[in-house]
């Protein structure tokens, strides 16, 4: 157990050393003055060697040791910083990286690689030293190959640098010994989760105390009325001066006294006085309650303040400078530029801006997509650049700035930019806009985020066909962020990502729809409006006027395939930013705005991509966090120009819709073996997406599926003009007459029951596909 624990600490540490190695190696450049980088790499290799040896990772330690030897020789100017030296160091770095990666997954060190590296390094050092102009310093022993194996088993010997290290330690020693300690990131996560729970409870408490205040006010009002009524009553009845002299209670005892010598107390007098006393007590109690409540509210406010401070402090521990994320692209940019035969330089600005580690991790993929696109399509080759009068070396610049709770990350390349006219032509050709449509430049740029839309016609290894940009938008949106693009032809393209600095606590608007509660991050919202009768919306999806432009709207119920005609009057519309444009989500009621923790979706529910997570309200309700990008995905797909597809594959196409992978595979194999082309979708929603992009000659669908069931799919297909005539066969395990009748009524052409007879299926297919042809 102890060893395992040690290993975990090592892995924690190794990540950091690998990062500095990565950064340092990227800066190494033959012929340039890069002493600082050499020093960094040397130190990282040295420390790594030492810590690996402690946890008995002899392979890692031996490789790091050789790396250290080489760097030391370079540092002492015994050998030159040649490109072959950098290559060797890089290969060693990569080997260590992959070993450490493997260790993290529970793999053992690969022992067979060590000899190669040791030999390579030793030979390299011997060779270079001989060719070096100066003699090696006497106190540096040339490592012998034979000793390498001994080093594998014995603790790593101290090198000359160890002394150096001790000398140097006080300078930056406090990083390790002074005011700093290492904390497992898991610990911080746990604390953040707890503080999140506390925040939610606190918010609930605040909400409850508002209710308490209402009650107090009501009681106080009633109390005051009581006081007044009783007061009035007392004035009349507390003392009875009854001049009428109707003394019913004349006591024998009083008979000797004159009438005016006594106050007369009858029962109503006594009752009235008691009433007054009690009322005074109540009044006093209410006054105390009021002041108690005021103090209580002040305490809650003070606690609220403390919790906020605590939260921001803990969140801060999880924040890391965004520059470290950018650094990771150094090598990727170099490699990709090389692969494309281009020269590209990476520039970084604002790397000190801090960002939540979780956001950081999840930004890597989208940024990688953008960088890939920039190198593959954005930056021109040297010749084209020269003709345009640009420097031959292209530039990709990363920058980050913080604006309140949002961090703005920009990736800018000085390549060919986006050709607006070409984009417009393409959009017209694709049927996304019409010739005379008034479309702004921004709206046109937004089109590049659509699946299947790219301004490049060719497809290459690293960047596909616009699919990447669609994924970027979806991933950024899942981070409660927005991505925008701007460009000028032949000058630049810039992507701006607006993401929250932290995901520990999110501000969400909670709403009700489709008999469930949902949440949407405030960062994705523009505003909330009310649906106007003038919008003329007749079903749960369509478009409305918003600030002079048409925007798409959709109700949650409609998305889930509720075919009920909704009462759309007085419904609310949450206007959302989805990177390139605005869309509106129609909801039943808005519950309010609150702070909450968005929990990632349980992996069992991964495929429910319209949710970016779930939250639990203070009173224990589960709410689903909507990702507006995926909610509108189906509507945002371009409608391909069908003519463009002709000539690609003329065999009839069959779309198979079933939530069971095995059924999809089975039926696909079956139809393919009969000479048809097969497409597959796991639910009605995906099927519609495919049908929007690809022509199918026949649809085979299951009835019961998640997200959108078969009936709804049939209904939708039948309501879309250019899909209306597509034959639909239902293939289901629900064989009852009722289902059959309902399917046929909805618009299915045929009905087969699983398990199906292969001959029957092929007959049915032949019937409909031939009819089509």
Partner 1 sequence: MKDNSESKSSGEKTYCVFNVSEREFLIQSDAVREVVEITRIFPIPGAPDYIYGALPLRGRIIPAVDLAKIYPIEKPSYQNAKLLVVDVENENIGFLSESSPFFVTFDSGIAVDDLIDLKSFFETYRIKGAG
Question: Whose CA is closest to 444, among 467, 423, 464?
Answer: 423
Stretch that binds partner 1, among 77-85, 392-400, 575-583, 610-618 (CB under 8 A): 610-618
Give 515 or 639: the residue with its C-beta nearer to partner 1.
Answer: 515
- φ and ψ at residue 710, rounded to 5 degrees: -65, -40
Q: How many CA atoms lie within 13 A of 555 on its CB side?
A: 28
Residues 6+ apart with CB under 8 A from 405: 500, 501, 502, 523
Q: Which of 610, 696, 713, 717 binds partner 1 (CB under 8 A)?
A: 610
Kindly state the smallest distance separating residue 707's Cβ from partner 1, in Å: 5
Q: Are 22 and 117 in contact (CB under 8 A)?
A: no
Residue 133 or 620 having the CB closest to partner 1: 620
d(CA 656, CA 666): 10
Shortest distance, CB of residue 606 to partner 1, whole angstroms? 6
> Which two structure tokens, joined as six digits, stand for 39?
């020093």
CA–CA gap between residue 749 and residue 674 (Å, rounded): 21
Q: Which stretch binds partner 1 (CB under 8 A): 335-343, 588-596, 619-627, 665-673?
A: 619-627
Q: Does residue 712 interact with partner 1 by CB under 8 A?
A: no
- Per-residue binding string, partner 1, 672-711, x by CB under 8 A, is ---------xx---x--x--------------xxxx----
Any contact of residue 564 with partner 1 (CB under 8 A)? Answer: no
Q: Which residue number, 231 or 607, has a Cβ lying nearer to partner 1?
A: 607
Task: For residue 285, give every residue at least 6 positions away whose Cβ sits within 8 Å of its Cβ, in sequence order, or none.
Answer: none
Q: Which stretch binds partner 1 (CB under 8 A): 13-21, 270-278, 490-498, 621-629?
A: 621-629
- The least distance separating partner 1 from the CB of residue 471, rounded to whole angstroms, comes to 11
Using the rule CB under 8 A, is 647 a contact of partner 1? no
Give the binding range for partner 1 (CB under 8 A) out of 114-122, 221-229, 232-240, 608-616: 608-616
**What is the smallest separation between the CB atom of 686 and partner 1, expressed in angstroms?**
5
Question: Does 603 participate in binding partner 1 (rule CB under 8 A)?
Answer: yes
512 binds partner 1 (CB under 8 A): no
Q: Which of 117, 453, 624, 751 is close enough to bind partner 1 by CB under 8 A?
A: 624
Q: Is 609 in the site for partner 1 (CB under 8 A)?
A: yes
Q: Where are the beta strands (DSSP E) in 404-469?
A: 406-413
Pairing, β 572-578 against β 589-596:
unpaired
The answer to whether 206 contacts partner 1 (rule: CB under 8 A) is: no
Q: What is the DSSP string of 52-97?
A: HHHTT-HHHHHHHHHHHHHHHHHHTTSS---HHHHHHHHHHHHHHH
Q: Which one among 94, 162, 174, 197 touches partner 1, defined by CB under 8 A?
A: 197
The one among 616, 723, 744, 752 contacting partner 1 by CB under 8 A: 616
Mapped to the 3 state alphabet, what secondary structure does 708-735 carry? CCHHHHHHHHHHCCCCCCCCEEEEECCC
Q: Which is nearer to partner 1, 385 or 554 (CB)?
A: 554
When asked if residue 620 is in the footprint of partner 1 (CB under 8 A), the reply is yes
- Minimum distance, C-beta of residue 624 to partner 1, in the bound complex (Å): 7
Say if CB 595 and CB 199 are below 8 A apart: yes
d(CA 765, CA 699): 10
For residue 241, give the DSSP letter: -
Of 292 and 622, nearer to partner 1 (C-beta) is: 622
Q: Binding-site residue total for partner 1 (CB under 8 A)?
A: 35
Report the SS3 class of residue 628. helix
β-strand pairing of 516-521 with 622-626: parallel
Q: Does 193 bind partner 1 (CB under 8 A)?
A: yes
- The single residue among 108, 661, 720, 766 that binds partner 1, judged by CB under 8 A, is 661
Q: Locate 546 and state its tokens.
A: 């918003």
The DSSP letter of residue 707 is S
Rounded Cα gap, residues 574 and 521, in angstroms = 11
Question: 556 vs 748, which CB is nearer to partner 1?
Answer: 556
Contact status: 622 vs partner 1 (CB under 8 A): yes
Nearer to partner 1, 371 or 625 (CB): 625
Q: Of 555, 561, 515, 516, nearest to 539 (Cα)?
A: 555
* CA nearest neighbour of 446 among 371, 496, 376, 395: 496
CA distances from 250 to 255, 260, 262, 266, 273 (A): 8, 13, 11, 10, 21
Contact 269, 239 (CB under 8 A): yes
Kindly state whether residue 602 participates in binding partner 1, applying the rule CB under 8 A.
yes
Contacting partner 1 (CB under 8 A), which of 417, 607, 693, 747? 607
Least distance from C-beta 629 to partner 1, angstroms? 13
Output 114 or 681, the one with its CB closest to partner 1. 681
185: contact with partner 1 by CB under 8 A: no
CB of 516 to partner 1, least distance (A): 5
96 scored as a contact of partner 1 (CB under 8 A): no
Q: Binding of partner 1 at residue 441 (CB under 8 A)? A: no
Strands 406-413 and 653-657: unpaired
734 binds partner 1 (CB under 8 A): no
What the block records as the tokens of 398 is 């990363």
**CB-wise, 238 or 657, nearer to partner 1?**
657
Selected from 242, 305, 401, 515, the binder of partner 1 by CB under 8 A is 515
User: Which class for 31: exposed (0-12), middle (13-18), buried (19 or more C-beta within 10 A)?
Assistant: exposed
Does residue number 614 form part of the binding site for partner 1 (CB under 8 A)?
yes
Residue 606 lies near partner 1 (rule: CB under 8 A):
yes
Can you tell me which of 324, 514, 674, 767 binds partner 1, judged by CB under 8 A? 514
Q: Is 156 in the site for partner 1 (CB under 8 A)?
A: no
In the complex with partner 1, the residue whose CB is nearer, 123 or 606, is 606
Report the nearest approach of partner 1 to the CB of residue 116 (Å): 36
User: Does residue 563 bind partner 1 (CB under 8 A)?
Assistant: no
Handedness of CA 522, 541, 448, 332 (dihedral sign): positive
The footprint of partner 1 on residues 516-535 (CB under 8 A) is 516
Task: Assess contact for 495 and 411: CB atoms under 8 A.
Answer: yes
Instruction: Extract the tokens encoding 726.
Output: 């597509």
For residue 100, give both structure tokens: 């450490």
**Strands, sheet with 572-578, edge to edge from the N-terminal-most edge strand:** 525-530, 572-578, 581-587, 549-555, 541-546
Work out which of 264, 441, 541, 599 binds partner 1, going by CB under 8 A: 599
Q: Which of 408, 597, 603 is nearest to 505 (CA)?
A: 597
Binders of partner 1 among residues 246 to 275 (CB under 8 A) are none
Shortest distance (Å) from residue 710 CB to partner 1: 13
Q: Using CB under 8 A as the criterion, which residues of the chain lie in contact with partner 1 when the complex forms?
A: 193, 197, 514-516, 556, 559-560, 599, 602-611, 614, 616, 620-622, 624, 659, 661, 681-682, 686, 689, 704-707
């Amino acid at each position: 157990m102890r060893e395992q624990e040690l290993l975990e600490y090592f892995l924690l540490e190794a990540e950091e050393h690998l990062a500095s190695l990565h950064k340092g190696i990227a800066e190494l450049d033959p012929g340039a003055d890069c002493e600082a980088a050499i020093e960094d790499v040397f130190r990282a290799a040295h420390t790594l060697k030492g810590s690996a040896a402690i946890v008995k990772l002899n392979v890692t330690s031996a490789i790091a040791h050789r790396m250290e030897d080489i760097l030391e020789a370079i540092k002492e100017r015994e050998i030159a910083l040649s490109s072959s030296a950098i290559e060797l160091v890089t290969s060693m770095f990569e080997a260590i990286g992959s070993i450490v990666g493997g260790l993290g997954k529970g793999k053992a060190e690969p022992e067979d690689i060590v000899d190669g590296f040791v030999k390579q390094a030793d030979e390299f050092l011997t060779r270079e030293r001989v060719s070096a102009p100066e003699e090696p310093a006497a106190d540096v022993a040339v490592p012998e190959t034979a000793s390498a194996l001994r080093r594998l088993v014995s603790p790593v010997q101290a090198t000359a640098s160890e002394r150096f290290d001790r000398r140097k330690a006080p300078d930056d020693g406090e990083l390790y010994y002074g005011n700093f300690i290492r904390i497992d990131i898991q610990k911080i996560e746990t604390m953040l989760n707890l503080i999140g729970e506390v925040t939610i409870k606190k918010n609930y408490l605040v909400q409850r105390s508002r209710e308490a205040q209402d009650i107090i006010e009501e009681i106080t009002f009633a109390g005051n009325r009581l006081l007044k009524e009783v007061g009035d009553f007392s004035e009349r009845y507390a003392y009875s001066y009854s001049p009428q002299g109707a003394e019913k209670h004349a006591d024998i005892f009083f008979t000797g006294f004159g009438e005016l010598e006594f106050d007369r107390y009858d029962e109503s007098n006594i009752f009235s006085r008691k009433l007054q006393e009690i009322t005074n007590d109540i009044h006093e109690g209410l006054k105390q309650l009021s002041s108690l409540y005021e103090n209580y509210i002040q305490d809650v406010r003070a606690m609220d303040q403390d919790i906020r401070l605590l939260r921001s402090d803990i969140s801060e521990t999880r924040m890391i400078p965004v520059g470290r994320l950018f650094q990771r692209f150094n090598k990727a940019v170099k490699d990709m530029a090389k692969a494309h035969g281009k020269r590209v330089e990476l520039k970084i600005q604002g790397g000190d801006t801090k960002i939540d580690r979780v956001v950081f991790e999840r930004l890597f993929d989208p940024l990688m997509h953008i960088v890939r696109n920039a190198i593959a399509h954005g930056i021109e080759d040297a010749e084209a650049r020269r003709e345009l009068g640009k420097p031959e070396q292209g530039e990709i610049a990363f920058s980050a700035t913080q604006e309140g709770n949002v961090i703005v990350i920009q990736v800018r390349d000085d390549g060919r930019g986006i050709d607006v006219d070409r984009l417009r032509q393409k959009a017209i050709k694709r049927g996304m806009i019409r010739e005379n449509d008034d479309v702004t430049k921004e709206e046109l740029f937004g089109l590049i985020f659509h699946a299947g839309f790219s301004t490049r016609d060719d497809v290459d290894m690293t960047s596909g066909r616009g699919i990447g940009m669609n994924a970027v938008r979806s991933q950024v949106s899942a981070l409660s962020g927005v991505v925008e693009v701007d460009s000028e032809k032949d000058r630049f393209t810039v992507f701006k990502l607006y993401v929250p600095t932290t995901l520990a606590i999110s501000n969400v608007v909670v709403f009700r729809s489709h008999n469930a509660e949902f949440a949407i991050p405030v960062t994705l919202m523009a505003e909330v409006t009310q649906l106007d009768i003038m919008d003329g919306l007749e079903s749960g999806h369509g478009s409305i006027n918003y600030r002079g432009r048409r925007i798409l709207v959709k109700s949650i119920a409609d998305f889930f395939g509720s075919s009920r005609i909704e009462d759309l009057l007085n419904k609310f519309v949450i206007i959302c930013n989805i990177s390139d444009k605005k869309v509106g989500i129609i909801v039943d009621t808005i519950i309010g705005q609150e702070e909450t923790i968005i929990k990632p979706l349980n992996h069992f529910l991964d495929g429910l991509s319209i949710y970016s997570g779930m939250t639990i309200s203070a009173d224990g309700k589960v709410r689903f966090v909507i990702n507006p990008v995926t909610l509108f995905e189906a509507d945002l797909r371009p409608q391909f120009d069908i003519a463009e597809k002709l000539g690609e594959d003329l065999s009839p196409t069959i779309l198979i819709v079933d939530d069971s992978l095995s059924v999809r595979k089975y039926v696909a194999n079956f139809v393919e073996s009969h000479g048809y082309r097969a497409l597959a979708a796991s639910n009605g929603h995906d099927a519609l997406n495919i049908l929007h992009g690809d022509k199918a000659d026949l649809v085979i669908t299951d009835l019961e599926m998640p997200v959108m069931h078969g009936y709804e799919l049939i209904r939708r297909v039948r309501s879309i003009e250019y899909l209306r005539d597509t034959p639909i066969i239902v293939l289901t395990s629900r064989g009852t007459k009722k289902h059959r009748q309902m399917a046929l009524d909805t618009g299915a052409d045929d009905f087969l029951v699983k398990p199906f007879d292969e001959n029957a299926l092929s007959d049915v297919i032949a019937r409909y596909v031939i009819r089509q042809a």
